Amino acid sequence: MTAPARTSATRLVRAGRFRGSGRSGGSGRAVGPARLRPGWFATGVVAVVIASVAGVAIGPVGINPIGAAAELLNLIPGVSLHSGLSAQEAAIITELRLPRVVLGLLVGAMLALAGGCYQGVFRNPLADPYLLGVAAGAGLGATAAVVIAVAAGTSGRQSGLVPPLAFVGAMVAVGLTYGLGVSGGRQRTPVTLILAGVAVVAFLTAIQTYLLQQHADTIREVYTFILGSLATSGWGSVRLILPYAVVSALIVLLHRRELDVLSVGDDEAASLGLHPQRSRYALVVAASLGTAAAVSVAGLVGFVGIIVPHTIRLMAGTSYRVILPLSLLFGGAFVVLCDLGARTLAVPSEIPLGVVTAFLGAPFFIIVLRSAGRVSL
Protein backbone atom coordinates (compact mmCIF):
# COMPACT_ATOMS: atom_id res chain seq x y z
CA MET A 1 0.00 0.00 0.00
CA THR A 2 1.44 3.39 -0.98
CA ALA A 3 1.86 6.21 1.54
CA PRO A 4 -1.12 8.26 0.23
CA ALA A 5 -3.30 5.13 0.21
CA ARG A 6 -2.22 4.24 3.75
CA THR A 7 -3.04 7.76 4.93
CA SER A 8 -6.45 7.49 3.29
CA ALA A 9 -7.02 4.07 4.85
CA THR A 10 -6.12 5.47 8.25
CA ARG A 11 -8.72 8.20 7.93
CA LEU A 12 -11.36 5.72 6.75
CA VAL A 13 -10.67 3.27 9.57
CA ARG A 14 -10.88 6.00 12.19
CA ALA A 15 -14.12 7.18 10.62
CA GLY A 16 -15.48 3.65 10.60
CA ARG A 17 -15.88 3.57 6.80
CA PHE A 18 -13.17 1.12 5.72
CA ARG A 19 -13.34 -2.54 4.85
CA GLY A 20 -10.38 -4.50 3.59
CA SER A 21 -10.28 -7.01 0.79
CA GLY A 22 -9.77 -9.86 3.27
CA ARG A 23 -6.15 -10.44 2.27
CA SER A 24 -2.93 -9.08 3.59
CA GLY A 25 -1.82 -6.42 1.21
CA GLY A 26 -5.22 -6.04 -0.40
CA SER A 27 -6.80 -2.76 -1.29
CA GLY A 28 -9.51 -1.26 0.84
CA ARG A 29 -12.84 0.20 -0.08
CA ALA A 30 -15.20 2.63 1.53
CA VAL A 31 -18.54 1.36 2.75
CA GLY A 32 -21.47 2.78 4.64
CA PRO A 33 -21.25 4.20 8.16
CA ALA A 34 -20.05 1.61 10.63
CA ARG A 35 -21.92 2.86 13.65
CA LEU A 36 -24.68 0.86 15.24
CA ARG A 37 -27.93 2.59 14.40
CA PRO A 38 -30.44 2.98 17.25
CA GLY A 39 -33.17 1.43 15.09
CA TRP A 40 -31.28 -1.83 14.68
CA PHE A 41 -30.41 -1.95 18.38
CA ALA A 42 -34.07 -1.41 19.28
CA THR A 43 -35.06 -4.17 16.83
CA GLY A 44 -32.64 -6.55 18.54
CA VAL A 45 -34.07 -5.70 21.98
CA VAL A 46 -37.60 -6.25 20.68
CA ALA A 47 -36.53 -9.63 19.24
CA VAL A 48 -35.17 -10.66 22.64
CA VAL A 49 -38.37 -9.55 24.40
CA ILE A 50 -40.64 -11.36 21.92
CA ALA A 51 -38.57 -14.55 22.08
CA SER A 52 -38.50 -14.43 25.89
CA VAL A 53 -42.25 -13.94 26.25
CA ALA A 54 -42.92 -16.70 23.72
CA GLY A 55 -40.47 -18.98 25.52
CA VAL A 56 -42.20 -18.63 28.90
CA ALA A 57 -45.79 -18.57 27.57
CA ILE A 58 -45.77 -21.45 25.07
CA GLY A 59 -45.45 -25.04 26.17
CA PRO A 60 -47.43 -28.12 27.21
CA VAL A 61 -49.19 -25.85 29.71
CA GLY A 62 -50.41 -22.81 27.77
CA ILE A 63 -50.07 -19.46 29.54
CA ASN A 64 -51.58 -16.13 28.53
CA PRO A 65 -48.74 -14.15 26.85
CA ILE A 66 -49.93 -10.87 28.43
CA GLY A 67 -49.99 -12.47 31.85
CA ALA A 68 -46.57 -14.02 31.21
CA ALA A 69 -45.16 -10.62 30.23
CA ALA A 70 -46.64 -9.07 33.36
CA GLU A 71 -45.13 -11.83 35.50
CA LEU A 72 -41.71 -11.14 33.95
CA LEU A 73 -42.07 -7.41 34.67
CA ASN A 74 -42.93 -8.24 38.28
CA LEU A 75 -39.40 -9.59 38.65
CA ILE A 76 -38.10 -6.01 38.31
CA PRO A 77 -37.72 -4.37 41.75
CA GLY A 78 -40.45 -1.83 42.37
CA VAL A 79 -42.83 -3.21 39.72
CA SER A 80 -46.07 -4.82 40.86
CA LEU A 81 -48.58 -5.75 38.18
CA HIS A 82 -51.61 -8.02 38.31
CA SER A 83 -50.77 -10.84 35.89
CA GLY A 84 -53.97 -12.81 36.38
CA LEU A 85 -51.97 -16.04 36.57
CA SER A 86 -52.47 -18.76 39.14
CA ALA A 87 -49.72 -19.60 41.62
CA GLN A 88 -48.98 -22.77 39.63
CA GLU A 89 -48.62 -20.86 36.36
CA ALA A 90 -46.38 -18.27 38.01
CA ALA A 91 -44.19 -21.06 39.39
CA ILE A 92 -43.95 -22.67 35.94
CA ILE A 93 -42.68 -19.37 34.54
CA THR A 94 -40.18 -18.41 37.23
CA GLU A 95 -38.85 -21.84 38.20
CA LEU A 96 -39.00 -23.87 34.98
CA ARG A 97 -39.32 -21.85 31.79
CA LEU A 98 -37.55 -18.61 32.67
CA PRO A 99 -34.23 -20.29 33.61
CA ARG A 100 -34.35 -22.15 30.30
CA VAL A 101 -35.07 -18.95 28.36
CA VAL A 102 -32.26 -17.04 30.10
CA LEU A 103 -29.89 -19.94 29.45
CA GLY A 104 -30.91 -19.90 25.78
CA LEU A 105 -30.26 -16.16 25.57
CA LEU A 106 -26.77 -16.59 27.04
CA VAL A 107 -25.87 -19.62 24.90
CA GLY A 108 -27.14 -18.02 21.69
CA ALA A 109 -25.42 -14.73 22.45
CA MET A 110 -22.07 -16.44 23.11
CA LEU A 111 -22.18 -18.66 20.02
CA ALA A 112 -23.27 -15.85 17.69
CA LEU A 113 -20.73 -13.41 19.15
CA ALA A 114 -17.95 -15.99 18.82
CA GLY A 115 -18.98 -16.74 15.25
CA GLY A 116 -18.78 -13.10 14.23
CA CYS A 117 -15.47 -12.72 16.06
CA TYR A 118 -13.89 -15.77 14.42
CA GLN A 119 -15.03 -14.66 10.97
CA GLY A 120 -13.29 -11.34 11.51
CA VAL A 121 -10.13 -12.79 13.07
CA PHE A 122 -9.61 -15.44 10.39
CA ARG A 123 -11.08 -13.37 7.52
CA ASN A 124 -13.14 -16.41 6.61
CA PRO A 125 -16.94 -16.19 6.18
CA LEU A 126 -17.32 -19.88 7.04
CA ALA A 127 -15.50 -19.77 10.40
CA ASP A 128 -17.63 -20.86 13.35
CA PRO A 129 -17.21 -21.14 17.15
CA TYR A 130 -16.06 -24.76 16.98
CA LEU A 131 -13.12 -24.05 14.69
CA LEU A 132 -10.35 -24.41 17.28
CA GLY A 133 -11.41 -27.72 18.81
CA VAL A 134 -13.86 -26.39 21.40
CA ALA A 135 -16.49 -28.93 20.39
CA ALA A 136 -14.05 -31.85 20.41
CA GLY A 137 -12.66 -30.85 23.80
CA ALA A 138 -16.12 -30.41 25.32
CA GLY A 139 -17.24 -33.73 23.87
CA LEU A 140 -14.22 -35.48 25.36
CA GLY A 141 -14.79 -33.81 28.73
CA ALA A 142 -18.46 -34.82 28.73
CA THR A 143 -17.56 -38.37 27.79
CA ALA A 144 -15.05 -38.57 30.63
CA ALA A 145 -17.67 -37.19 33.05
CA VAL A 146 -20.25 -39.78 32.03
CA VAL A 147 -17.70 -42.61 32.27
CA ILE A 148 -16.69 -41.50 35.79
CA ALA A 149 -20.33 -41.13 36.86
CA VAL A 150 -21.34 -44.56 35.53
CA ALA A 151 -18.37 -46.13 37.28
CA ALA A 152 -19.62 -44.50 40.50
CA GLY A 153 -23.12 -45.93 39.99
CA THR A 154 -24.96 -42.81 38.82
CA SER A 155 -25.57 -40.85 35.60
CA GLY A 156 -23.59 -37.92 34.28
CA ARG A 157 -26.48 -35.49 34.66
CA GLN A 158 -27.18 -36.51 38.25
CA SER A 159 -23.52 -36.33 39.21
CA GLY A 160 -23.16 -32.75 37.96
CA LEU A 161 -19.79 -33.56 36.40
CA VAL A 162 -20.71 -32.96 32.75
CA PRO A 163 -20.71 -29.10 32.65
CA PRO A 164 -17.42 -28.53 34.54
CA LEU A 165 -15.52 -31.30 32.75
CA ALA A 166 -16.93 -30.23 29.38
CA PHE A 167 -15.74 -26.68 30.09
CA VAL A 168 -12.30 -27.89 31.15
CA GLY A 169 -12.06 -30.06 28.04
CA ALA A 170 -13.04 -27.17 25.78
CA MET A 171 -10.47 -24.82 27.31
CA VAL A 172 -7.75 -27.49 27.19
CA ALA A 173 -8.50 -27.95 23.49
CA VAL A 174 -8.14 -24.21 22.86
CA GLY A 175 -4.90 -24.18 24.85
CA LEU A 176 -3.50 -27.08 22.82
CA THR A 177 -4.51 -25.38 19.57
CA TYR A 178 -2.94 -22.10 20.64
CA GLY A 179 0.26 -23.80 21.81
CA LEU A 180 0.56 -25.79 18.61
CA GLY A 181 -0.22 -22.73 16.51
CA VAL A 182 2.50 -20.56 18.07
CA SER A 183 5.16 -23.27 18.11
CA GLY A 184 5.94 -23.01 14.42
CA GLY A 185 8.24 -20.01 14.61
CA ARG A 186 7.73 -16.33 13.95
CA GLN A 187 5.60 -16.66 10.82
CA ARG A 188 2.25 -17.25 12.50
CA THR A 189 -0.88 -16.68 10.44
CA PRO A 190 -4.60 -17.46 10.83
CA VAL A 191 -4.05 -20.50 8.61
CA THR A 192 -1.53 -21.88 11.12
CA LEU A 193 -4.05 -21.63 13.94
CA ILE A 194 -6.78 -23.25 11.86
CA LEU A 195 -4.54 -26.17 10.87
CA ALA A 196 -3.54 -26.58 14.51
CA GLY A 197 -7.23 -26.75 15.38
CA VAL A 198 -7.79 -29.47 12.79
CA ALA A 199 -4.98 -31.54 14.32
CA VAL A 200 -6.27 -31.08 17.87
CA VAL A 201 -9.83 -32.01 16.83
CA ALA A 202 -8.59 -35.23 15.23
CA PHE A 203 -6.53 -36.14 18.31
CA LEU A 204 -9.28 -35.44 20.86
CA THR A 205 -11.94 -37.15 18.76
CA ALA A 206 -9.79 -40.25 18.60
CA ILE A 207 -9.53 -40.31 22.41
CA GLN A 208 -13.29 -39.82 22.76
CA THR A 209 -13.99 -42.64 20.31
CA TYR A 210 -11.70 -44.95 22.29
CA LEU A 211 -13.52 -44.12 25.54
CA LEU A 212 -16.89 -44.79 23.95
CA GLN A 213 -15.66 -48.10 22.58
CA GLN A 214 -14.42 -49.17 26.00
CA HIS A 215 -17.59 -47.99 27.78
CA ALA A 216 -20.45 -48.76 25.41
CA ASP A 217 -23.05 -48.20 28.15
CA THR A 218 -22.29 -44.46 28.10
CA ILE A 219 -22.99 -43.89 24.40
CA ARG A 220 -26.62 -42.84 24.78
CA GLU A 221 -25.93 -40.22 27.44
CA VAL A 222 -22.90 -38.88 25.61
CA TYR A 223 -24.83 -38.45 22.39
CA THR A 224 -27.58 -36.68 24.28
CA PHE A 225 -24.98 -34.07 25.22
CA ILE A 226 -23.51 -33.94 21.71
CA LEU A 227 -26.91 -33.28 20.11
CA GLY A 228 -27.48 -30.29 22.37
CA SER A 229 -30.22 -29.35 24.81
CA LEU A 230 -31.23 -26.49 27.12
CA ALA A 231 -33.06 -28.78 29.54
CA THR A 232 -32.49 -27.43 33.04
CA SER A 233 -34.03 -27.94 36.45
CA GLY A 234 -33.32 -24.43 37.75
CA TRP A 235 -30.90 -21.55 37.75
CA GLY A 236 -27.72 -23.56 38.33
CA SER A 237 -26.64 -23.64 34.67
CA VAL A 238 -27.31 -19.91 34.31
CA ARG A 239 -25.12 -19.12 37.31
CA LEU A 240 -22.42 -21.39 35.90
CA ILE A 241 -22.20 -19.72 32.48
CA LEU A 242 -22.95 -16.09 33.42
CA PRO A 243 -19.49 -14.96 34.70
CA TYR A 244 -17.71 -16.39 31.64
CA ALA A 245 -20.30 -14.92 29.29
CA VAL A 246 -19.89 -11.45 30.79
CA VAL A 247 -16.08 -11.54 30.60
CA SER A 248 -16.09 -12.91 27.05
CA ALA A 249 -18.63 -10.38 25.78
CA LEU A 250 -16.83 -7.42 27.37
CA ILE A 251 -13.43 -8.34 25.89
CA VAL A 252 -14.78 -8.99 22.40
CA LEU A 253 -16.93 -5.85 22.31
CA LEU A 254 -14.08 -3.69 23.57
CA HIS A 255 -11.93 -4.99 20.69
CA ARG A 256 -14.61 -4.76 17.98
CA ARG A 257 -12.95 -1.80 16.27
CA GLU A 258 -9.74 -3.83 15.92
CA LEU A 259 -11.57 -6.44 13.86
CA ASP A 260 -12.35 -3.76 11.29
CA VAL A 261 -8.67 -2.81 11.23
CA LEU A 262 -7.56 -6.45 10.89
CA SER A 263 -9.72 -6.76 7.78
CA VAL A 264 -7.24 -4.60 5.82
CA GLY A 265 -4.47 -7.17 6.37
CA ASP A 266 -1.73 -7.56 8.95
CA ASP A 267 0.81 -5.27 7.29
CA GLU A 268 -1.62 -2.40 6.92
CA ALA A 269 -3.06 -2.99 10.41
CA ALA A 270 0.45 -2.79 11.89
CA SER A 271 1.07 0.46 10.00
CA LEU A 272 -2.11 1.83 11.57
CA GLY A 273 -0.71 1.20 15.06
CA LEU A 274 -2.28 -2.20 15.79
CA HIS A 275 -0.41 -5.30 16.96
CA PRO A 276 -2.18 -7.91 14.75
CA GLN A 277 -1.03 -11.08 16.54
CA ARG A 278 -1.71 -9.73 20.01
CA SER A 279 -5.19 -8.55 19.05
CA ARG A 280 -5.98 -11.75 17.18
CA TYR A 281 -5.07 -14.04 20.06
CA ALA A 282 -6.85 -11.88 22.64
CA LEU A 283 -10.02 -12.08 20.57
CA VAL A 284 -9.64 -15.82 19.96
CA VAL A 285 -9.17 -16.56 23.67
CA ALA A 286 -12.14 -14.40 24.68
CA ALA A 287 -14.43 -15.89 22.03
CA SER A 288 -13.31 -19.41 22.91
CA LEU A 289 -14.00 -18.76 26.60
CA GLY A 290 -17.60 -17.83 25.84
CA THR A 291 -18.00 -20.77 23.46
CA ALA A 292 -16.62 -23.22 26.01
CA ALA A 293 -19.03 -21.95 28.67
CA ALA A 294 -21.98 -22.23 26.29
CA VAL A 295 -21.04 -25.73 25.14
CA SER A 296 -20.49 -26.95 28.70
CA VAL A 297 -24.16 -26.37 29.63
CA ALA A 298 -25.97 -26.78 26.29
CA GLY A 299 -23.93 -29.33 24.36
CA LEU A 300 -23.00 -28.90 20.72
CA VAL A 301 -25.48 -26.45 19.19
CA GLY A 302 -24.21 -25.86 15.68
CA PHE A 303 -24.62 -23.22 12.97
CA VAL A 304 -25.67 -20.38 15.30
CA GLY A 305 -22.30 -18.69 14.76
CA ILE A 306 -22.81 -18.79 10.99
CA ILE A 307 -26.52 -17.99 10.62
CA VAL A 308 -26.77 -14.98 12.93
CA PRO A 309 -23.64 -12.94 12.03
CA HIS A 310 -24.19 -13.44 8.29
CA THR A 311 -27.82 -12.40 8.49
CA ILE A 312 -26.82 -9.25 10.38
CA ARG A 313 -24.02 -8.60 7.87
CA LEU A 314 -26.52 -8.73 4.99
CA MET A 315 -29.16 -6.59 6.68
CA ALA A 316 -27.48 -4.10 9.02
CA GLY A 317 -23.91 -3.58 7.82
CA THR A 318 -20.51 -5.18 7.42
CA SER A 319 -18.63 -3.41 10.21
CA TYR A 320 -17.92 -5.47 13.31
CA ARG A 321 -18.96 -2.46 15.36
CA VAL A 322 -22.45 -3.38 14.11
CA ILE A 323 -22.20 -7.16 13.76
CA LEU A 324 -20.94 -8.03 17.23
CA PRO A 325 -23.44 -6.12 19.43
CA LEU A 326 -26.36 -7.25 17.28
CA SER A 327 -25.09 -10.83 17.34
CA LEU A 328 -25.48 -10.82 21.11
CA LEU A 329 -29.14 -9.83 20.84
CA PHE A 330 -30.28 -11.74 17.77
CA GLY A 331 -28.20 -14.80 18.66
CA GLY A 332 -29.95 -15.12 22.00
CA ALA A 333 -33.39 -14.63 20.45
CA PHE A 334 -32.61 -17.17 17.71
CA VAL A 335 -31.62 -19.94 20.12
CA VAL A 336 -34.62 -19.31 22.40
CA LEU A 337 -36.98 -19.62 19.42
CA CYS A 338 -35.19 -22.75 18.17
CA ASP A 339 -35.48 -24.26 21.65
CA LEU A 340 -39.16 -23.36 21.70
CA GLY A 341 -39.60 -25.38 18.51
CA ALA A 342 -37.48 -28.22 19.91
CA ARG A 343 -39.72 -28.68 22.95
CA THR A 344 -43.12 -28.10 21.31
CA LEU A 345 -42.99 -29.63 17.81
CA ALA A 346 -42.95 -33.25 19.02
CA VAL A 347 -44.78 -33.12 22.36
CA PRO A 348 -44.55 -35.10 24.65
CA SER A 349 -41.01 -35.87 23.44
CA GLU A 350 -38.37 -33.24 22.77
CA ILE A 351 -36.25 -32.74 19.66
CA PRO A 352 -32.54 -32.12 20.38
CA LEU A 353 -31.76 -28.43 20.00
CA GLY A 354 -28.75 -29.18 17.80
CA VAL A 355 -31.02 -30.99 15.34
CA VAL A 356 -33.26 -27.92 14.99
CA THR A 357 -30.36 -25.51 14.46
CA ALA A 358 -28.74 -27.92 11.99
CA PHE A 359 -32.02 -28.22 10.06
CA LEU A 360 -32.05 -24.43 9.68
CA GLY A 361 -28.31 -23.98 9.40
CA ALA A 362 -27.34 -26.55 6.79
CA PRO A 363 -29.23 -24.85 3.91
CA PHE A 364 -27.97 -21.47 5.12
CA PHE A 365 -24.39 -22.80 5.16
CA ILE A 366 -24.77 -23.95 1.56
CA ILE A 367 -26.04 -20.51 0.53
CA VAL A 368 -23.11 -18.81 2.26
CA LEU A 369 -20.68 -21.26 0.68
CA ARG A 370 -22.03 -20.57 -2.81
CA SER A 371 -22.15 -16.81 -2.35
CA ALA A 372 -18.72 -16.64 -0.75
CA GLY A 373 -17.15 -18.11 -3.87
CA ARG A 374 -13.48 -18.55 -3.22
CA VAL A 375 -12.88 -18.22 0.52
CA SER A 376 -9.62 -16.49 1.36
CA LEU A 377 -7.82 -17.26 4.56
CB 318 within 8 A of CB 189: no
**According to the model, what pLDDT value does residue 156 have?**
65
Whole-angstrom CA distances from 110 to 105, 146, 214, 312, 328 are: 9, 25, 34, 15, 7
Give the pLDDT of residue 187. 57
Cα-based distances in Å from 261 to 139, 268, 282, 330? 34, 8, 15, 24
37 DSSP assignment = P
**Residue 271 falls inside a structural domain:** yes
Distance of CA 273 to the CA centre of its chain: 29
Is 367 part of any domain? yes
Q: For residue 78, report the phi and psi dihedrals to the nearest 5 degrees.
A: 90, -10
Predicted confidence at residue 24, as pLDDT, reads: 37
**Euclidean distance between CA atoms 232 and 105, whole angstroms:** 14
- Give the mean pLDDT per block of 10 residues along the chain (377 residues): 47 47 39 72 95 91 88 85 86 90 95 93 82 88 88 72 88 88 65 85 92 85 85 82 94 90 74 78 89 90 91 89 95 95 87 92 78 50
CATH code of the domain in which 273 resides? 1.10.3470.10
Contact 324, 117 (CB under 8 A): yes
pLDDT of residue 22: 40
Cis peptide before 348 (omega within 30 of 0): yes
Alpha helices in the chain (DSSP H): 3-15, 38-57, 65-73, 87-91, 98-121, 134-151, 156-159, 162-181, 190-214, 219-227, 236-254, 256-262, 266-271, 276-298, 304-315, 320-344, 353-372
End-to-end Cα distance, the chain: 19
Residue 89 inside a domain? The answer is no
pLDDT given for residue 125 in this prediction: 76
pLDDT at 191: 77
> Domain for residue 148, yes or no?
yes
In a domain, 26, yes or no: no
Tell me which residue range forms the domain holding 248: 100-372
Q: Does 70 map to a domain?
A: no
In a domain, 342, yes or no: yes
Q: How many CA atoms lie within 13 A of 63 on its CB side?
A: 30
Q: Strand, helix or coil at 12?
A: helix
Number of compact structural domains in the chain: 1
Quote the pLDDT of residue 364: 82
CA distances to 243, 245, 288, 292 from 240, in Å: 7, 9, 16, 12
pTM of the model: 0.84
Taking the CB of residue 311, how many other CB atoms lie within 10 A of it?
17
- Examine residue 44 and state whether it is found in any structural domain, yes or no: no
